[in-house]
A and B are shown apart, each in its own frame.
Chain A
Amino acid sequence: MAKKTIRTIPQERTAMPVQEPRERVCNFSEVALGYSVANALNEAERCILCPQQPCVEGCPVQIDIPGFIQKICVQNFRGAYDVLTEANLLPAICGRVCPQESQCEQVCVVGDHLEPVAIGRLERFVGDMAVSEGWANEPEFDPNGRRVAIVGAGPAGIACAADMAKAGCEVVIYEALHRPGGVLSYGIPEFRLPNAIVDDEFGKVIQLGVTVECNTLVGRLFTIEELRDELGFDAVFIGTGAGYPSFMGIPGESLNGVLSANEFLTRCNLMQAGEFPRKDTPLHMGRKVAVIGSGNTAMDAMRVSLRLGAEEVHCLYRRTRTESPARVEEVDHAEEEGVTFHWLTAPVEILDDGDSNVRALRCIRMELGEPDQSGRRRPVPIEGSEYEFEADMVIYAIGTNANPIMGQTSNLELNKWGYIEADEQQRTSLAGVFAGGDIVTGGATVILAMGAGRRAARSMKAFLGILDPREMAVSDADRPRIFGIDARQRNYRRVRDAA
């Protein structure tokens, strides 16, 4: 095979087929339809198999990206799935929700000259094929008798659980809601991540022998310390998420019709309030919706609003489109669907209709001043620029604070913002207790949480004395024996005990 170069590969990035905006805004079906086989083969050809492989380092869970793309090139799709699932059991989910443009695709060598390889779309292509073909990879492992508790069935917890189960541990995930998935279930809407995909890929984690206990509020039903000291778990991972939505503290936030994006999305996604009164949970959708904030959550809330019949949806953000923390694609999609963006605009008061409902917002125009600590230019109000803006529903999507339950119920050390203090190996102040995801970092992304879950799993294995088989570079043929014990047992503790 001739060596591929920037000149020989397809120059154009393969476009993602999407539902037309006018059509999709009337349904909850997926917006991005996914690559066809022809699309995928074309895009896979764009990977030049560079020797540096910066994309692997750019991936929070270090997927062998050139490896799986190479399998696509030779039409070995099952092989591509095998390579992907070595690092990530949830390719169909991550292919959809990872911010690839700031991770693997950002450092792609092809991207120096052309559009980078569409790694995320290829990952989703393989993941979707696995879902439709019913592929599953159940790695062989020997139970090692160790018990691991995972608190929170979101991305961090699922990633940690999968790795610990593959290492041979008995894993129990505790989830407070009645459905597992965390933000994948309650937060990200159907048209961006179908529940069927979440269920299927989460099902593969269950197939590893992981137990999920829903309706279990750890901290209150039993504490972290009790899990470790009384319920017989050798290690605990906390991945409870940030989950305490922020408001601004401006007048009128208690009016009816003002809600957090978390509440709005939970009602719609988890509780299916869009089907009220056929389903029991109400929402009371507004006609003219104002969403404050411009992150991915804001985009989700706005696009759900449109699909639930809002006549107008407005995005209010105090900086500009350039500073918007949402993925470029999400902002584009929202705009195509009819969201009106009000950049450099901040609300100062929510006004009522005399009957405790929202009637309007009083806003102020902003301009960008000097850069702040985050490097973004600080928005400064323009004096005398206040104006009223009609709205009957206001949704806050300006981030979250630390959920206080873990701090209230355990002796875990917290940082000054209330998040759990954890080191770079995800170890907390309590021995055997690890934490990762939004409850450590504050609101971030699904894949960063999964990366933290996997890092936690690695240090959990070290803590439990379980040697990672992939880190044992020993061929089966000349497997050494340590203290007369077969090294395949991969377990320091048993070696230690025997010694």
Chain B
Amino acid sequence: MYDIVTREDFSGSTFLLEVKHPLLAKAAKPGQFVIVMSQADGERIPLTIADFSVDRGTVTLVIQAVGKTTVEMQQRCVAGSPLYAMVGPMGIPSHISESGKVVCVGGGLGVAPVFPQARAFKDRGAYVIGVIGFRSKDLIFWQDRFEKVCDELIICTDDGSAGIKGLVTDGIHMAIDKHPDIQEVVAIGPPVMMKSCAETTRAREIKTTVSLNPIMVDGTGMCGGCRVSVGGEMRFCCVDGPDFDGHQVDFDELMRRLARFREDERVALERWGRSDSCHLGLAEPAIE
């Protein structure tokens, strides 16, 4: 059992859990992930580590309530309650290169996990441009954290209620136009966003690293459920990744594989929404 020490809600569907695990906090490096089980009969779900603190002995996870497991976690996981299992850090840590000028892009849920990378680049002395995207102003989180580690921060919102009106790719264009000497882009977010980021930088031949989050079971290379195609080769995201060259990743395949259990997920959520253990009385599935 691993105790949740803090919970913070960023929106109706996005929330943060800070979980006590001093050893994991000490071992974690930017780009790595954990596998969490909220309860004994629960699913094993991979979550990218959004932050870690050796001093506090904690690991921070940002979760979006999209399926039965995560909606239930949104309801049940409060400060003081335990997680049944949390294992990690998994995956090869991000390579924090010697690049002098980098853009760290985070969209939606990807905003959180790109933060440790931005911080690591900053610590290494790079000039860091943050590009973070949200749907609207009231969904923005961690602006202060990013401001601390970024030399420039471009906030993008779909409706223009804060920062620039547009997608993170517009933010990347802005950054590239202003700084022709950008050497590297790190993009984390939904696959469709990472795909557009990779397309944006492909023409300019800027190295672009993405962090993939496919469906996994064990997270140790044993099941092969997380296989992705990178440069035409089959790779296991859990032990060969999760970071890959964005220009080489087959994002369409990744998106198809992420939809593998869509029907089952709908069934599980609806069934649970009708059950007594759900306190929301979900009339409508909470999927956005």
- Residues 261-304 of A, flagged 1 when their CB comes within 8 A of B and 0 if not, give 01100110001100011111111100000000000000000000
Within 8 A of A (CB), among B82-104: 84-90, 92
CB of A412, distance to nearest CB on chain B (Å): 16
Q: How far is the CA of A279 from the CA of B272 in the complex (A)?
A: 11
Known: A254-B229, A256-B260, A271-B44. A220 touches B90 (CB 8 A): yes
CB of B116, distance to nearest CB on chain A (Å): 16
Which of chain A's residues has its CB closest to B91's CB?
A220
Q: Which residues of chain A come closer than 8 Å to B217, judged between CB atoms?
A: 263, 266-267, 271, 281
A271 touches B43 (CB 8 A): yes
Q: Which residues of chain B come closer than 8 Å to A221, judged between CB atoms?
A: 23-24, 27, 88-89
B69 touches A215 (CB 8 A): no
Known: A244-B239, A271-B43. A277 touches B271 (CB 8 A): yes
Q: Is A73 an interface residue (CB 8 A)?
A: no
A405 touches B86 (CB 8 A): no
Q: Which residues of chain A come closer than 8 Å to B87, judged between CB atoms?
A: 176-178, 215-217
Q: Is A408 an interface residue (CB 8 A)?
A: yes
B90 touches A280 (CB 8 A): no
Q: Is B280 an interface residue (CB 8 A)?
A: no
Binds A, one of B10-18, B156-164, B261-269: B261-269
Q: Which residues of chain A come closer than 8 Å to B221, judged between CB atoms?
A: 243-244, 403-405
A266 touches B224 (CB 8 A): no
Q: Which residues of chain B come closer than 8 Å to A266, judged between CB atoms?
A: 217-218, 222-223
Binds A, one of B170-178, B199-207, B251-259: B251-259
Q: Is B225 an interface residue (CB 8 A)?
A: yes
Candidate in B89, B257, B260 with the most chain A CB atoms within 10 angstroms: B260
Q: Is A76 an interface residue (CB 8 A)?
A: no
Q: Which residues of chain B come closer than 8 Å to A176, judged between CB atoms?
A: 87, 218-220
Q: Is A41 an interface residue (CB 8 A)?
A: no
- Residues 95-138 of B, flagged 1 when their CB comes within 8 A of A and 0 if not, give 00000000000000000000000000000000000000000000
Q: How far is the CA of A279 from the CA of B268 in the complex (A)?
A: 9
The main secondary structure of chain B at its interface with chain A is: mixed
Q: Is A245 an interface residue (CB 8 A)?
A: yes
- Residues 215-254 of B, flagged 1 when their CB comes within 8 A of A and 0 if not, give 0011111111101010000101001100000000010010
Q: Is B78 an interface residue (CB 8 A)?
A: no
The main secondary structure of chain A at its interface with chain B is: loop
CB of B95, distance to nearest CB on chain A (Å): 13
Q: Which residues of chain B come closer than 8 Å to A256, judged between CB atoms?
A: 256-257, 259-260
Q: Is A259 an interface residue (CB 8 A)?
A: yes
Q: Which residues of chain A come closer than 8 Å to B240, judged between CB atoms?
A: 404
Which of chain A's residues has its CB closest to B258's CB?
A256
Q: How far is the CA of A244 from the CA of B37 in the complex (A)?
A: 22
A260 touches B27 (CB 8 A): no
A280 touches B69 (CB 8 A): yes
Q: Which residues of chain A come closer than 8 Å to B55, judged between CB atoms?
A: none
Which of chain B's residues has its CB closest to A356's CB?
B256
B222 touches A241 (CB 8 A): yes
CB of B261, distance to nearest CB on chain A (Å): 4
CB of B144, distance to nearest CB on chain A (Å): 30
CB of B93, distance to nearest CB on chain A (Å): 9
A263 touches B225 (CB 8 A): yes
Interface residue from A214, A271, A282 paired with B264 (Cβ < 8 Å) = A282
Q: Is A384 an interface residue (CB 8 A)?
A: no
Q: How far is the CA of A271 from the CA of B216 in the complex (A)?
A: 12
Q: Is B68 an interface residue (CB 8 A)?
A: yes
Kindly state the interface size class of chain B when it binds its partner. 35 or more
Within 8 A of B (CB), among A225-261: 241, 243-245, 247, 249, 253-254, 256, 259-260
Interface residue from A178, A245, A282 paired with B268 (Cβ < 8 Å) = A282
Q: Which residues of chain A come closer than 8 Å to B239, judged between CB atoms?
A: 244, 403-405, 408
Q: Is B42 an interface residue (CB 8 A)?
A: yes
Known: A271-B43, A403-B239. A277 touches B85 (CB 8 A): no
Q: Which residues of chain B come closer than 8 Å to A253, judged between CB atoms?
A: 227, 234
Q: Which residues of chain B come closer than 8 Å to A243, judged between CB atoms?
A: 220-222
Within 8 A of A (CB), among B63-91: 68-69, 84-90
Q: Is B41 an interface residue (CB 8 A)?
A: yes
CB of B68, distance to nearest CB on chain A (Å): 6
Q: Is A387 an interface residue (CB 8 A)?
A: no
A178 touches B84 (CB 8 A): yes
Interface residue from B42, B218, B229, B259 paired with A280 (Cβ < 8 Å) = B42
Interface residue from A254, A262, A276, A282 paired with B223 (Cβ < 8 Å) = A262
Q: How far is the CA of A240 from the CA of B192 in the complex (A)?
A: 36
Q: Which residues of chain B come closer than 8 Å to A277, judged between CB atoms?
A: 68, 264, 267-268, 271-272
Within 8 A of A (CB), among B261-288: 261, 263-265, 267-268, 271-272
A215 touches B89 (CB 8 A): no
Candidate in B41, B221, B257, B268 with the most chain A CB atoms within 10 angstroms: B221
- Residues 164-178 of A, flagged 1 when their CB comes within 8 A of B and 0 if not, give 000000000000111
Which of chain B's residues has its CB closest to A352's CB?
B256
Q: Which residues of chain B come closer than 8 Å to A216, judged between CB atoms?
A: 87
- Residues 133-173 of A, flagged 1 when their CB comes within 8 A of B and 0 if not, give 00000000000000000000000000000000000000000
Q: Which residues of chain B come closer than 8 Å to A267, judged between CB atoms?
A: 217
B residues with a Cβ closer than 8 A to A are 23-24, 27, 32, 37, 41-44, 68-69, 84-90, 92, 217-225, 227, 229, 234, 236, 239-240, 250, 253, 256-257, 259-261, 263-265, 267-268, 271-272
Q: A220-B32, A281-B43 are in contact. List 18 more A-B contacts (CB 8 A).
A: A176-B219, A176-B220, A177-B87, A178-B84, A217-B220, A220-B89, A220-B90, A244-B236, A254-B234, A260-B224, A263-B217, A266-B223, A267-B217, A277-B264, A280-B42, A281-B44, A356-B259, A403-B221
**CB pairs A–B below 8 angstroms (13 shown):** A177-B218, A186-B222, A254-B234, A254-B250, A254-B253, A263-B224, A266-B217, A266-B218, A271-B43, A280-B41, A280-B268, A284-B261, A403-B222
Top-6 shortest CB links A-B: A282-B264, A263-B223, A243-B222, A356-B256, A215-B87, A280-B43
